[in-house]
Amino acid sequence: MEMTPARSAIWSQVGKALSHQIFDRFERFEDAVDEAVSGVAPEDRPALRGLLEDMLASSEDARALWENSGAGIAFHDSRGARMAMEMLLQAVKSKG
């Protein structure tokens, strides 16, 4: 999947927000995801939504795509990473 500089920047921003330290403030992953999406400027959320939709539709390994974000939260398999991306997408959709 092609990552343009703009897509890479927004994906890195989300990854940075999902660092290990986020769980010092939130116990639930869902709350951490919501906080990460809240940190994305409203005008950039459509781009994040498109990126997540493309990643979820991609045949590429979801775990590798997740790792590209630089998130401090790692998954042992693609299934966990895919679920996290789906949660991010739902959070983006709910924030508009």
Q: What is the pLDDT of residues 17-72, one digit of tens each?
A: 988 778 788 888 889 899 999 999 999 999 999 999 999 999 999 999 999 998 88
How many CA atoms within 13 Å lie on the side-chain side of 33? 18
48 vs 96, which has greater pLDDT? 48
For residues 7 and 4, give the distance between their C-alpha atoms in angstroms, rounded to a whole number.
Answer: 5
How many helices (H) and strands (E) in the chain? 5, 0
The DSSP letter of residue 26 is -
CB distance 70 to 16 below 8 Å: yes
